[in-house]
Amino acid sequence: MLGVEHTVIESVELEPDGRGGEQLVARVRPKAGVASRCARCGQRCPGYDTASEPRRWRGLDLGTTPVYLQATTQRVRCPEHGVVAAAVPWARAGSRFTTAFEDTAAWLVCHATLSVVAVLLRIAWRSVAAMVTRVVAERAGQTDRLAGLRRIGIDEISYRKGQRYLLVVVDHDTGRLVWAGKDRTAVTLRRFFDDLGVERAGQLTHISADGAEWIHAVVSERAPRAVLCLDAFHVVAWATKALDAVRRRLAAQLRAESQHEAAAELTNTRWALLKNPPNQSGAQRSTVAGIARTNKPLYTAYLLKEQLRAIFETKGRTGRALLAGWISWARRCRIPEFVTLAQTLTRYRTLILNTLDHALSNARVEATNTPLRLLTRRSYGFHSPESLIAMANLTRGGLCPPLPGRTA
């Protein structure tokens, strides 16, 4: 009933909780086979001293009654770690909660907000965050999440105002988050490759990323055999940004010529131009048709954006030919924003061709980033990147524990 193993139950009593209710206190001790072990390495060690007062650990409630486990603790002298607290079989090192309690809290956090879990379990939300960190650390140490990587995606995600970012790495084959680190810098990415190791980095076959050149430089340095693909979504986003810049420039010209009504109409075409044709409403399609009749430069920019999107849908040899035609068209279109974009695509042409040949994008990474953004909003932000990294590994890294007493 208490959800503990290798534990001797000496007595169980109901005591007043000091708030008009009762709490269940089980006085316990470790079985002889697991007693006097180092809490860090698990090695049996000679005893050092015994605490003068017993210690309590919060367990899972029995119905509406809070449960505590009480035991007299000791310290041991470990040849590797020195004098440390002895491990107990019912709780993790440094915790005031039983393992079953922490696993339940971690499972609930994957399915509800942290504040709701804190209210349900009658604990402080900071305690929940600490539990998540301990659970993730233990479960991450039981498996090598970087083993067998072949195709990965690299991207960054903002977790707080003020240019605060995490760098995330996702396995394309499983969709799992396999690594996350603070800051979107070359130093952070090199730290991932340090954890991966030279041998396993040499086994990577494909890597997808956005246009950040520091990512490209580190990948070329640490995984030179991998095919680097430029994420199609980011390339199309460049074209979308260029299209919007064209629209704003033309609207500003109309306002400068005192054509305020025409400028206002052009300003209101933004969403019709940015939306993909299948997602446009009837009114938005009519807006685009009107632009085709009255504003040739803007309509040309719209067609360039849509053509680029179609290239990535086509892929392969045909996509390569279409890309060459697109760059030639953009160079000759006399629209400054797209002339500049053509130069950018020419610079990244090799990486874009890799994307067309291997049909690899950062879609799996974005599928991970979206829940992480929701997690950040749902938690009203995180005080430290380490807290978000722990939550990300718990919810997206496959480290969520099963509920106590169940296998799935």
pLDDT tens string 52-90 = 999 999 999 998 999 999 999 999 999 999 999 999 999
- Please report, for residues 69, 128, 277, 354, 387, the alpha-carbon distance to residue 118 in angstroms, rounded to integers and kept in the order given: 20, 7, 46, 48, 16
Q: Domain spans of the chain?
A: 1-90, 97-230+362-408, 232-358
On the question of pLDDT at 408 being above 70, the answer is no
Tokens 């007693």, located at residue: 35
CA distance 115 to 63: 21
Distant-in-sequence, close-in-space partners of 95: CB < 8 Å, separation ≥ 6: 57, 102, 130, 131, 134
Report d(CA 60, CA 98) in Å as an integer: 8
Q: If you average pLDDT over residues 13-17, what whole number do you get?
A: 92
**Share above pLDDT 70 across residues of the chain, in percent, rounded to a whole number:** 98
Task: With beta carbons less than 8 A apart as the criterion, state whether 39 and 4 touch.
Answer: no
- Residues 252-259: what's their mean pLDDT? 92
Is the pLDDT assigned to residue 348 strictly greater than 90?
A: yes
- Residue 158: enclosing H or E segment and its boundaries? strand 151-160
Class of domain 97-230+362-408: alpha beta
| pLDDT tens for each residue of 145-196 | 999 999 999 998 887 776 788 899 999 999 999 999 998 899 999 999 999 9
**Core vs surface per residue 261-274: b (16+ CB within 10 A) or e:** ebbebbeebeebbb
Q: How confident is the model at residue 380 (pLDDT cuts 50, 70, 90)?
A: low
pLDDT over threshold 90, residue 101: yes
Is residue 39 within 8 A of residue 15, CB to CB? The reply is no
Q: Is 398 left (phi over 0), alpha (psi -120 to 50) or beta?
A: left
Number of helical H runs and strand E runs in the chain: 16, 12
Residue 188 has a CB neighbour count (10 Å cut-off) of: 19
CA distance 38 to 309: 59
